[in-house]
Amino acid sequence: MDQENNSRRNFLLGGLLAAGAIAGCNTNKDVFESGIVGDVKPSGKKVKLLSVDGDVIEVDEAFLKPVPHMPPISNTEARKGIPGKKFVMVIDLSRCKNLKKCQEACNHAHELNPGENWIKVEPMKSAEFTAPYWEPTTCMHCDEPPCVKVCPVDATFKREDGIVAIDSDRCIGCRFCMAACPYSARVFNWSEPEIPAEIAAQPYSIETSIPQKKGTVSKCDFCADMTREGMLPHCVSACPNGVFAFGDINEDTVSNGAETFRFSDLIKDKAGYRLMEDLGTKPSVYYLPPVNRNFPYESGLENDKIQNK
């Protein structure tokens, strides 16, 4: 899955190369705008390279820069988000067997303090005689986020691309957002996080949420750094059962890495819903009901004992 992601990114990079290299061919500028965010401006410096046909061609150096070398995102840009995007997640409850691979990948990728989980997989049961099921929960990235409403200092904010992000350099640790969030999505760094010193010394990034800081709130950030590069969040690519699908609702597409769906069809065909719709928070995370399940509920019980004794 990881491999798939990376090769996907590399396609985009390739698209960039081609579009920049040969002006007037069958691609237009939109091609790389849809993939990698932010315009790349020609530097004027040409590099010679060999084309597939074995011809020597000249390409502007700027188009050859690999994605990771793109200029770092400023705080202002990170607060604004990616223009024209609106990220959405679909969680298919019929596929979840509480493997917690999502949680593991998430904790690892965001260098979370041990014991802290942004993704929780909860055993749910709707009514007395209904069947139990596993429900992974992330931050819902609500369109009318109650946590953002109450933040006194703009430390948590709603971005243009729908992501609710946190600026740990701003957060005063009042924890009002935690009280306001009905999904209990937020966690607090009660102590100095146990993270490697070189990571703790980095300047805080809104898009990676690294490093965690003592006395501040944190939560799932939809892997804003990954989405900026056109890649899937870590939980999505880590899940071997394809529970999570992620995408841009403006493109009507979500993908779990292996399969890609048209969002509107998926949500219609499988009767998708959102958690606590009655609260009016308008979440960006949709759930597909736990019907025709791939795994019995009991298969997840053993794995649940590690954290919940």
Partner 1 sequence: MKLLNKISNGSLLILLILLSHSSFSQGTEKGDVSIAINYFINNNQVSYLVVKVKTKVDGRFKNVDGVALKLFLDKDSAGTFIAKVVTNKKGEATTTIPPSVEKQWHSQVKHTFLASFDGDKKYGPAKADLTVAKAKILIDAASDKTITATVFEKKDATWVPVKGVDVVLAIRRTAADLPINDKPTFTTDSTGKASGEFKRDHIPGDAKGNITLVAKIVDNDQYGNLVIEKSVPWGAKFTSVSTFNKRTLFATRNKAPVWLLFVVYSILIAVWGILVILVFNLFKIKKLGKSVAN
Partner 2 sequence: MNRGSKTIKYKTNNLNETTVENSILIAKEKIIVSLKPEKLNSADDDKIIDDLLPQKFGKAGKIWVGILLAFCMVGMFAYYRQLRYGLVVTSMRDYVSWGIYISNFVFFVAISLVGSLITAVFRLAGVKWGSPLTRIAEIIAVAAIIFASLIIIVDMGSPERFYNLFTHGRIQSPIIWDVIVITTYFFISILLLYYPLLPDIKILLRFKERSGVRLHKFYSFIGSFWKGTPEQFKLSDKAINILCVSIIPVAFTIHTVTSWLFATTYRPGWDSTNFGAYFIAGAFLVGAGAVVVAMYIFRKAYHLEKYITDNHFEKMGRVVVLLSLLYLYFNVNEFLTPFFKMKESEAAYLNGLFTGNFALVFWFAILAGMIVPILILLFKKGRKPLPVFIVGIMVVVGAWFKRYLIVTPTLLHPFLPMHDVPASYHHYFPSWEEWAITVGSLAGCMLIITLLARIFPIIPIQETLTEQHEIAEQNI
56 contacts partner 1 (rule: CB under 8 A): yes
Length of the chain as a residue count:
309
Among 187, 226, 232, 254, binds partner 2 (CB under 8 A): 187
Question: Read out DSSP for 71-106?
Answer: PPPPHHHHHH--TT--EEEEEEGGG-----HHHHHH
CB 186 within 8 A of CB 177: yes
Write out the binding residues for partner 1, residues 12-41 only, by CB under 8 A: 13-15, 17-19, 21-22, 25-28, 30-31, 34-35
Write out the binding residues for partner 1, residues 220-259 only, by CB under 8 A: 227, 230-232, 246-248, 250-255, 257, 259
Q: Provide the β-strand partners of residue 163.
A: none
Shortest distance (Å) from residue 219 CB to partner 2? 10
- Cα–Cα dist 230/208, whole Å: 14
Q: Which does 305 bind (CB under 5 to 8 A by kind): partner 1, partner 2, none?
A: none
Among 87, 133, 183, 261, binds partner 2 (CB under 8 A): 183
User: How many residues sit in the footprint of partner 1 (CB under 8 A)?
Assistant: 75
Q: What is the per-residue binding string for partner 1 in 158-177, x denoting contact by CB under 8 A?
A: xxx-----------------
182 contacts partner 2 (rule: CB under 8 A): yes
Whose tokens are 């750094």? That residue is: 225
79 contacts partner 2 (rule: CB under 8 A): no
Under 8 Å CB-to-CB from 202, ≥6 apart: which residues? 210, 211
Among 42, 49, 115, 269, binds partner 1 (CB under 8 A): 49
Region for 227 from its dihedrals, namely left if φ exceeds 0, alpha if ψ lies in -120 to 50, beta otherwise: alpha
Q: Give the residue with the Cβ less far from partner 2, 250 or 303.
A: 303
299 contacts partner 2 (rule: CB under 8 A): no
Under 8 Å CB-to-CB from 60, ≥6 apart: which residues? 20, 21, 42, 43, 44, 45, 46, 47
Burial-class residue 238 by CB neighbours within 10 Å (0-12, 13-18, 19+). Answer: buried
Q: Which does 62 bind (CB under 5 to 8 A by kind): partner 1, partner 2, none?
A: none
Q: Which stretch binds partner 1 (CB under 8 A): 38-46, 64-72, 92-100, 293-301?
A: 64-72
Q: Are strands 260-262 and 56-60 parallel, antiparallel or unpaired?
A: unpaired
- Cα–Cα dist 262/248, whole Å: 10
DSSP run (H or E) holding 60: strand 56-60
150 contacts partner 2 (rule: CB under 8 A): yes
Among 22, 49, 57, 172, binds partner 2 (CB under 8 A): 172
Residues that bind partner 2 (CB under 8 A): 100, 103, 115, 117, 120-124, 137, 146, 149-155, 170-176, 178-180, 182-184, 186-192, 213-217, 275-276, 279, 307-309
